[in-house]
């Protein structure tokens, strides 16, 4: 249970991550700027990539798990004719092929194979663990091992701009999708090879690039604007769930960790508020379906 007054800031900062920064770098910077220990990110973004990185602060760190299944959208620049071992511009070139015969029509046809649910093999340069070691550690040691394909879903895959051998694609995809791997596999299908030459994440779940602020803007924003205008409320992670509004007596029992009478579907996640609209946390309906048990109890924001 959160203690009242434990931390000054609570909410999600939507950061436009700069190139060359790891997601961990961004978290560290925000910890220092806010002087807040409880900071974490919702969805790793490769160092070379830029764009939307949701950063949870304070009580928002307790809701990150509810964003785990969030879909994401990207604008990806694909360069044909060259493949690398990392599938992006930072890797070692593994082959080159003249892509002069590939036009927009050929690209459109190749994209058909990557829409909907597909099986994707994670790249060696990734954080996936195999046998207790991350793949990128093995890759840097010069090793390549068999990786099991994983199901991912490509909801949208469209050409934004095409100036062969470079194409810009809009990609909307499920969690766990490696855009680098998608680009690599596209190059294999075309027979030319391809690498991801630029990547911008424009959406993660409910967070969009239009909402994002740059890291270098944050200190000044904190001086000029109230926190609620800078950050998104922590309950955004469960806005797609039902809400329960409870009376003062029930609120007091909720804060003590007691289950409440509630009629719902067994296992359902519910966001809880008092009569004034203050967020009190998250509950889950018990298997018998008539009790709401506290899962996350937070102090009033």
Q: Do domains 11-70+206-235 and 72-204 have the same CATH topology?
A: yes
Calculate the alpha carbon distances from 195 to 80, 154, 157 in Å. Answer: 7, 18, 17
User: How sure is the predictor about 134, in pLDDT bands with cuts at 50, 70 and 90?
Assistant: confident
**Three-class DSSP category at 17:** strand
Whether 273 and 244 have beta carbons less than 8 Å apart is answered as yes
- pLDDT confidence bin for 274, thresholds 50/70/90: very high
CA distances (Å), origin 97, targets 40, 196, 261, 290: 42, 16, 66, 64
pLDDT of the residue at 5: 41
Is it the case that residue 140 has pLDDT exceeding 80?
no
In the chain, where the domains are located? 11-70+206-235, 72-204, 241-297
- Evaluate if residue 135 carries a pLDDT over 80: no
pLDDT digits (tens, 9 = 90+) for 59-108: 999 999 999 999 999 999 999 999 998 899 988 899 999 999 999 999 99
| In the chain, alpha helices (H) | 23-34, 104-111, 135-140, 179-190, 218-224, 227-230, 248-255
Q: Residue 146 and residue 85: Cα distance in Å, rounded?
A: 15
Whether domain 11-70+206-235 has CATH 3.30.2350.10: the reply is yes
Task: Say if residue 6's pLDDT is above 60.
Answer: no
Catalytic residue positions, numbered: 46
CATH H-level, domain 72-204: superfamily: Pseudouridine synthase (3.30.2350.10)
Work out the pLDDT band at 1, boundaries 50, 70, 90: very low
pTM higher than 0.85: yes
What pLDDT sits at residue 4? 38
* Angle of the 179-190 helix axis to the 104-111 helix axis, nearest 10: 120
Q: Answer whether residue 113 shows pLDDT above 60.
A: yes
Q: Which residue has the higher pLDDT, 239 or 138?
A: 239
Helix (H, G, I), strand (E, B) or coil at 67: helix
Percent of the chain, pLDDT > 90? 80
What CATH number does the domain located at 241-297 have? 2.30.130.10
Question: Which tokens is 50 given?
Answer: 């830029």
Overall average pLDDT of the 43-64 stretch: 94
**d(C-alpha 24, C-alpha 298), whole Å:** 25
């Amino acid at each position: 249970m959160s203690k009242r007054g434990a931390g000054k800031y609570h909410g999600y900062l939507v950061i436009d991550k700069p190139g060359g920064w790891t997601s961990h770098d961004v978290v560290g910077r925000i910890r220092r700027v806010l002087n807040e220990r409880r900071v974490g990110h919702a969805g790793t973004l490769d160092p070379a990539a830029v764009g939307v990185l949701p950063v949870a602060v304070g009580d928002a760190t307790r809701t990150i798990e509810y964003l785990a299944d969030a879909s994401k959208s990207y604008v990806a620049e694909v360069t044909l004719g060259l493949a690398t071992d990392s599938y992006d511009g930072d890797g070692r070139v593994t082959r080159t092929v003249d892509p002069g015969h590939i036009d927009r029509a050929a690209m459109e046809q190749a994209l058909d194979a990557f829409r909907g649910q597909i099986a994707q093999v994670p790249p060696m340069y990734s954080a996936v663990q195999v046998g207790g070691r991350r793949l990128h550690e093995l890759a840097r040691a010069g090793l390549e091992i068999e990786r099991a394909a994983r199901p991912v879903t490509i909801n949208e895959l469209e050409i934004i701009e095409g100036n062969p051998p470079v194409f810009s694609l809009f990609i909307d995809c499920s969690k766990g999708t490696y855009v680098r791997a998608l680009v690599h596999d596209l190059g294999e299908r075309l027979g030319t090879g391809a690498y991801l030459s630029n990547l911008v994440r424009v959406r993660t779940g409910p967070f969009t690039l239009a909402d994002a602020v740059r890291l270098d803007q944050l200190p000044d924003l904190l001086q000029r604007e109230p926190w609620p205008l800078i950050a998104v409320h922590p309950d955004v992670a469960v806005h797609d769930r039902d809400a329960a509004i409870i009376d003062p007596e029930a609120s007091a029992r909720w804060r003590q960790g007691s289950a409440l009478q509630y009629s719902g579907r067994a296992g359902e996640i519910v966001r809880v508020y008092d009569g004034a609209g203050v967020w009190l946390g998250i509950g889950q309906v018990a298997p018998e379906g008539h009790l709401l048990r506290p899962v996350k109890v937070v102090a009033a924001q």
